[in-house]
Amino acid sequence: MSTGPELWDKAKTLIPGGSMLLSKRAEMYLPAGWPAYFSRTKGCTVWDLDDKPYLDVGLMGVGTNILGYSHPKVDEAVMGTVKSGNLSTLNAPEEVYLAEALIALHPWAGMARFTRSGGEACAVAVRIARAASGKDKVAFCGYHGWHDWYLSANLGEDDSLDGHLLPGLEPNGVPRALRGSSIPFRFNDLAGLTSIMSDDEVGVIYLEVQRSDPPAPGFLEGVRALATKHGAVLVFDECTSGFRRPLGGMHLHYGVDPDIATFGKTLGNGYAINAIIGRTEIMQAAQNTFISSTFWTERIGPTAALATLAAMTQEDAPARVHQIGVNVQQRWQETATAAGLDITVGGLPALANYTVTGLDPLLVKTYVTGRLLDQGFLGGLSVYASIAHTDAVLDQYFEAVAIVMGELAHLDDAALVALLPGGVAQGGFARLT
């Protein structure tokens, strides 16, 4: 079997972009030397194709595995489904049980639908919201996937999406007629949204409840009031934030209810399942349009979600990953101070990150990623917390971090460039040659 870097080079000749997920491109981590592929996982350990183990104190499946990799109870439930059958002409009863479970966690909601990816869930939510409001335009904030409705924001100003997680997204292939149908606003900018809502054709407000900075006092309440005032459908995208503090959506923590909410990432602990829940009268608009897919009815996804919900409840996972994130942010700050390095920590605690003052962010990211890899870690400037990140694992991680931060304290950009002979990691979307 080829080693990871060798297979990645081959992949780029066979798969446009090398991978189905931008965030898994080797160039997003290290332009040379990133292991790229895994053979097996357990807890927070990932083995590469040469069977070398790494502790993943980084993105943990790009935010999917807050119970840790290969959680025994989730995997056991899935294997039971594999043995008894995954898909047939009849429906899987688990989708009904999952709808009940999610609605029980969110009393404002009355109905649910399911997809297998986050982009699909966001597209379904927008379709339902537009059908319910009877209006075409969407005011949005944050990152919501790859579908036409979202990328159309870059048809007018090609950098409109740059401040919404991923810069450089190209709208090629998106119909030009969609220009102006999706209008971005900035998080915590209630005045900007108020101005957008003066357009009577805006029928949907779509935003992430929190990805980095918390909502300012009164912001979510103000968004809710604007949606109600203008008869717009309010959608909270919790595909990333969901289950990372309370059991359910982050909006439960802030006490503001939407009309629709989407969930993904953590819901199946690595198995493909996403959910769209909403008020009954809003969700029923799905019957006045067409939203349907054969593989949305497979059984593994909802089976995994039910087992994941049970395990998250039993193990108090949302509260634990929140506290792990708080501790990581604090230890980053303490370690940097001891090294004489000036940093700023941020992010939702369970999706924590830091930046180094005075140094180029991509140079720092590349250097830190490479040095952590040298010491047996998949990591960088972010930690997506998992209950598999035990005190023992984090102690090992911070021994490595202390070394790297100590080195960074004595480097400038020119010195970093000289230490990166393989080049600098990508910071957003870029075409691979």
* pLDDT tens per residue across span 65-92: 999 999 999 999 999 999 999 999 999 9
Cβ neighbour number for residue 73 with a 10 Å cutoff: 15
How far CA 42 is from CA of 3, 49, 60, 68, 185, in Å, comes to 20, 15, 11, 7, 40
pLDDT of 432 above 70: no
Residue 430 is predicted with a pLDDT of 64
- Could you state, in order of their start, the residue ranges of all structural domains in the chain? 4-62+316-418, 72-314
> Residue 272's pLDDT band (boundaries 50, 70, 90)?
very high
Rounded Cα distance between 370 and 364, Å, is: 10
CATH code for the domain defined by 4-62+316-418:
3.90.1150.10
User: 16, exposed or middle or buried, with CB in 10 Å at 0-12, 13-18, 19+?
Assistant: exposed
Rounded Cα distance between 233 and 135, Å, is: 10
To which residue do tokens 């990805």 refer? 211
72-314 matches 4-62+316-418 in CATH topology:
no
Mean pLDDT, the chain, integer: 95
> Residue 284's pLDDT band (boundaries 50, 70, 90)?
very high
Each residue of 421-430: b (16+ CB within 10 Å) or e?
A: eeebbbeeee
Q: Using one digit for the tens of pLDDT, what is the confidence trace for 347-399?
A: 999 999 999 999 999 999 999 999 999 999 999 999 999 999 999 999 999 99
What is the percentage of the chain residues whose pLDDT exceeds 90?
88
Better-scored residue on pLDDT, 212 or 76: 76
Residue 170 is predicted with a pLDDT of 80
pLDDT of 267 above 80: yes
Rounded to two decimals, what is the model's pTM?
0.94
**Token reading at 51:** 């069977």
Residue 429 is predicted with a pLDDT of 66
Residues near 252 by beta carbon (within 8 Å), at least 6 away in sequence:
105, 106, 246
> Residue 212's pLDDT band (boundaries 50, 70, 90)?
confident
pLDDT of 433 above 60: no
Residue 1 is predicted with a pLDDT of 47
Residue 159 is predicted with a pLDDT of 64
Contact 149, 182 (CB under 8 A): yes
CATH code for the domain defined by 72-314:
3.40.640.10
Q: Using one digit for the tens of pLDDT, what is the confidence trace for 85-108?
A: 999 999 999 999 999 999 999 999
| 110-119, 158-167, 241-250, 333-342: the lowest-pLDDT one | 158-167
Q: What is the DSSP letter of 216?
A: P
